Amino acid sequence: MNHTALELLELGAIFFGLGLLGRLANRIGLSPIPLYLLGGLAFGSGGLVPLGDIGDFTALASEVGVVLLLLLLGLEYSASELLTGLRRSWTAGLLDIILNAAPGAAVALILGWGPVGATVMAGVTYISSSGIVAKVLGDLGRLGNRETPVVLSILVFEDLVMALYLPTLTAFLAGVSFYGGLSAVGISLAVITVVLVIALRFGRFVSALVDSPDREVFLLKVLGAALLVAGFASAMQVSAAVGAFLLGIAISGSTAENATKLLEPLRDLFAAVFFVVFGLNTDPRSIPPVLAFAVGLAVVTTLTKVGTGWWAARRQGIGKLGRARAGAALVARGEFSIVIAGLAVSYTAVPADLAALATAYVLIMAVLGPIVARYVEPVARKLVRTPAAPAT
């Protein structure tokens, strides 16, 4: 069988298998991310049925998946919403960093992975999965709840932190000096500031530039702009994902809504490939030695996320049930933790076990998050039940 035919067969099997896994995830009410990772583990090196080389397509497709993930995340926010969310949630956001980044960093240092490994694992355990959180809130009918703006404000803060964290991490992974890392942060801050100013004052012009009544032209312009900006950002050591996120912020109004509807199927396809490729590149035999650490991190960071949401909701005067729901909604980790780990393992400065730990951790948290969010309210009701009034 010739090489092209073999690659087509393998790609077809992967896409069809992803469809089956996605359908299974919908039926059992879970995010498909854990199943995509498991699929990659099963067919990667050391898996049940290792696939051969499927070429450069999957590597590039996984990069496009990251760009689309961040682009559509940016499309969900306007610059004014980001600034409002930042003002509203900056104290809760700082607490979120302290409570949820520290456990990952501590485990990395215990395992002897050094400052770079600690920086990576801090990001893996810190950021919640915006996609899973949004889906859970919608599925449970909580989008209109009083605590939901608190949850969304914390997610906005986390996304802005990622815009600084990713280029800084890239600089550390590349082995630049301390001053080089500072310059990366400075460039990131400058780029973010410029984009926010452009989005606030000239967002309509950016939207008009990519908008088109023709769906085909619109798709080509938006996707082309995203890849151009991502490539330019990567060349400036700002991170391709951050560049796509900032472009999404600059596009607003009906253009952003139409772009989201048009790009969602592409995002789902390429993001699924990204998760599978990450799984393919992770040897499942490396997971058992770090599984205990993954479980320990899952327990600790579940409690710290619940604590973060509880404290933030309490500051807004929300009752105990709302505080519990806010904290539980933030528990899930997913796509961005894998994005961070995927970026890290492409550098030799990071140990191979880190990918295994990140995979095991995300598998647990992507499943545990929706379960905690679903059942926290009945549990909280029992705990905060008001004692019956004495008989008169």
Locate all alpha helices (DSSP H) within 281-332, ordered by sequence: 288-315, 320-329
pLDDT tens digits for 64-109? 888 888 888 778 777 676 677 677 778 998 999 999 999 999 999 9
Which domains occur in the chain, in start order?
55-381 (1.20.1530.20)
Within 13 A of 335's CA, how many CA atoms are on the CB side? 28
The pLDDT score that the predictor gives to residue 238 is: 63
The pair of three-digit structure tokens given for residue 345, joined into one six-digit string: 């393992």
For residue 378, the model assigns a pLDDT of: 84
CA atoms within 13 A of residue 327's CA, in its CB half-sphere: 28
pLDDT score, position 217: 93
| pLDDT tier, 45 (very low <50, low <70, confident <90, very high otherwise) | low
Q: Can you read off the two tokens belonging to residue 316?
A: 């807004």
Gap between the Cα atoms of 353 and 289, Å rounded? 9
**Tell me: the pLDDT tens digits for 222-243?**
999 999 988 887 776 666 777 7
DSSP string, 89-107: HHHHHHHHHHHHHHHHHHH
Arithmetic mean of pLDDT over the chain: 82
| Residues 296, 302: Cα–Cα separation, whole Å | 10
Band of residue 348 on the pLDDT scale cut at 50, 70, 90 = low
Residue predicted with more confidence, 112 or 384: 112
Is residue 151 within 8 A of residue 353, CB to CB? The reply is no
Q: Could you give the angle at which helices 335-345 and 353-383 cross, rounded to 10 degrees? A: 160
Q: What is the pLDDT of residue 302?
A: 96
What Å distances lie between residue 114 and 119, 173, 295, 320, CA to CA?
Answer: 9, 12, 21, 40
Spell out a b/e string for 174-200, using b for 16 or more CB atoms within 10 Å of the CB, else e. Answer: eeeeeeebeebeebbeebbeebbebbb
Task: Tell me the C-alpha distance between 28 and 31, whole Å.
Answer: 9
Among all chains, which residue has been given the structure tokens 């990667």? 44
From the list 1, 100, 138, the residue with the least C-alpha distance to 331 is: 100
Residue 176 has pLDDT above 70, yes or no: no
Answer with the residue of higher pLDDT: 185 or 47: 185
Contact criterion met (CB below 8 Å) for 329 and 153: no
Q: Taking 80 as the threshold, does the pLDDT of residue 23 lie above it?
A: yes
Tokens found for residue 145: 């709840």
**pLDDT of 182:** 65
pLDDT (0 to 100) of residue 346: 73
- Assess whether pLDDT exceeds 60 at residue 392: no
Amino acid at 235: A
* DSSP helix/strand/coil, 48: coil
Identify residue 390 by its one-letter amino acid code.
P
Which position has the higher pLDDT, 232 or 298?
Answer: 298
**Helix, strand, or coil (residue 223):** helix
Q: 257 and 222 in contact (C-beta within 8 Å)?
A: no
Confidence of residue 28 (pLDDT cuts 50, 70, 90): confident
